[in-house]
Structure 1
Amino acid sequence: MSAVVETLPLFPLGTVLLPGASLPLHIFEPRYRQLTIDLVTGTLPGKQFGVVAVREGWSPDDGRDGLHDVGCTATLREVRRLPDGRFDIQTTGDRRFRLLDVDETAAPYLVANVEWVPDDEGDEESDLAPLAMAARAAHRRYCTTAWRQQGGGDGEMPAELTEEAASGVAGPELAHILAGDCLLPLSDRQELLEQTCPMERLQLIRRSMTREAVLLGELRAVWAPSVKFAVEHSLN
């Protein structure tokens, strides 16, 4: 069967958006102001655009070669227009996609043909339960270490995780939820996004959080993006 190809406006960023994660953005570049207007007015239907991470060492202006192959759609939830024409928007990650080709001339912003990236079939939630328990434990160790480093005690778990733990559901989306409030390297988050096997995804997030908890505890250090990406591309 041939894959379904759809067209998405693109917003390259120096971060990886995961399904279910919140992403606030401050929009000031003219091309992304126009993108926001097109989404709000319905010129672009569905109020969705594609967030794709810029490869480290590249910039959004480097074109297709500077972008990772797999991204995630962002659904527009709230929009606040500022007096000078800038926007503050709230979005939520939804569906993963793979870039097929990118058009740099169709609009002020990039437009891409994409195909959706579903999870592999076959894993039952009961099969995921042991891995989910180990991943939750690694996440709690990471969070506890981070809170203590900041002098905040043990803190509180995110509401999504409290609900997950109470229900006992492993769920294929659990790894994305666990990663949502952790400072992980872009490469880890991109690998997590691209992974289509829920079992492998849980193993990935467990290993990543275990490693980062050790770094926090022993070195009192956590991964941070380069100044270039933190300043220029996370706000855009």
Structure 2
Amino acid sequence: MSDRLPVFPLSTVLFPGLVLPLHIFEERYRTLVRELVAQSGETPHEFGVVTLKHGSEVAPEPGDDDPVPAAPAVSAADLYDVGCTAELRHVTELPDGRFDIMTVGRRRFSVVSVDQGSEPYLTAQVRWLPEEEEAGEIAQLLAPRVLTAFRTYLDLLRPNSEMLDQVPDDPTVLSHLVAATAQLTVEERQLLLAMPDTASRLRAELRLLNREAGLLARVRAVPVPLSDLARPASPN
């Protein structure tokens, strides 16, 4: 089954269950937010988030006295094939008509075709990807190993991180959290989003986490000048 869906191209990868705040200033996406808010309560207030392979996700935000720049054209070739819907959870309209919105990833889809012109914003014909009602036996066996690897990775990356106390043990939720928060490339995150099931995603994440933990351990073992240690840590 395929459906037509409003699409917001971004430079990030959204996963089901993960929070995505956005600042909306382009008029075409202001229109989208207004339309979503006006929908009935029975209709999911959601739009598609698809990751850009290259190019700019939106026009630069203009200054107070600057003209609104033209929105960049986006084609199917600029986008990855798999995305995730973002469901509106909170909308704040600012005095000048812009919006601050809070969304949560909801369901995955593959892009069949892209249309730019019939609506002010980008739309796509999408096919919904099947989701597991419950993680299978292999995923249940992999989840504790991935959780241990993720804790090791986080402890190396950010010692005493509060996230260590908030890591879920549900296999599917865990797989999405690891994919969204580990320091991976966009291409790696996109591959994880497109995985056919939780077990496949967890298996790939176990390899990636072990790789990243090994790299971090080697970096920490290299002596550095005391002056470098005195610098504040980067939040990234």
**Shift, 1:62, TM fit:** 3.3
**Residue in 2 that maps onto 1:134:** 145
- In the TM superposition, residue 177 of structure 1 has moved relative to its aligned partner by 2.5
Runs of 4+ in 1 over 6 A off after TM superposition: none
- The answer to whether the aligner puts 1:103 opposite 2:115 as a matched pair is yes
Distance in structure 2 (CA, Å) of the matches to 1:124 and 1:33: 38
Which residue in the other structure is 1:48 paired with? 46
Structure 2 stretches of 5 or more lacking a match? Answer: 58-72, 221-236
C-alpha RMSD of matched pairs (Å): 2.3
Q: Deviations over 1:174-199 (max 9, x none)?
A: 31133333232111110011001322
Equivalent-residue separation in structure 1 for 2:45 and 2:204 (angstroms) = 31
Query: 1:118: Cα distance to partner?
Result: 1.0
CA distance in 2 between partners of 1:116 and 1:89 (Å)? 24
CA contact (8 A) 2:47 2:85 kept: yes
The offset of 1:43, in angstroms, is 8.4
Is residue 16 from structure 1 mapped to residue 13 from structure 2 by the alignment?
yes
Within-5 A mapping of 1:132-171:
132-148=143-159, 153-157=160-164, 159=166, 161=168, 164=169, 169=170, 171=171
2:46 corresponds to which letter in structure 1? Q
Q: What residue identity is the alignment partner of 2:51?
A: A
Deviates more, 1:65-74 or 1:190-199: 190-199
Q: Distance in 2 between matches of 1:158 and 1:186?
A: 26
SS of 1:62's equivalent in the other structure is coil
Aligned counterpart, 1:77:
89
Gaps of 5+ in 1: 221-236
Aligned partner of residue 74 in structure 2, secondary structure: helix
Taking structure 1 as the reference length, the TM-score comes to: 0.78
Q: 2:127 aligns with which of 112, 115, 118?
A: 115
Residue type matched to 2:192 in 1?
L
Equivalent pairs counted in the alignment come to 204
Q: Among 29, 43, 51, which residue is 2:26 paired with? A: 29
Output one character per residue of 1:114-139: Cα deviation in whole Å (capped at 9) or x when no partner.
11011479x96333233111111111
| Distance apart, 1:54 and its partner CA | 0.3
Contact 1:142 1:212 in 2 (8 A): yes
**TM-score, normalised to structure 2's length?**
0.78
2:208 corresponding residue in structure 1: 208
Q: Identify the residue that residue 91 of structure 1 maps to in structure 2.
A: 103
* Amino acid across the alignment from 1:85: G
% identical aligned pairs:
41
Deviations 1:89-114 (A, max 9, x none): 11010111011111101111111111
Correspondence for 2:36:
39
- Report if aligned partners of 1:98, 1:117 keep a CA contact under 8 Å in 2: yes
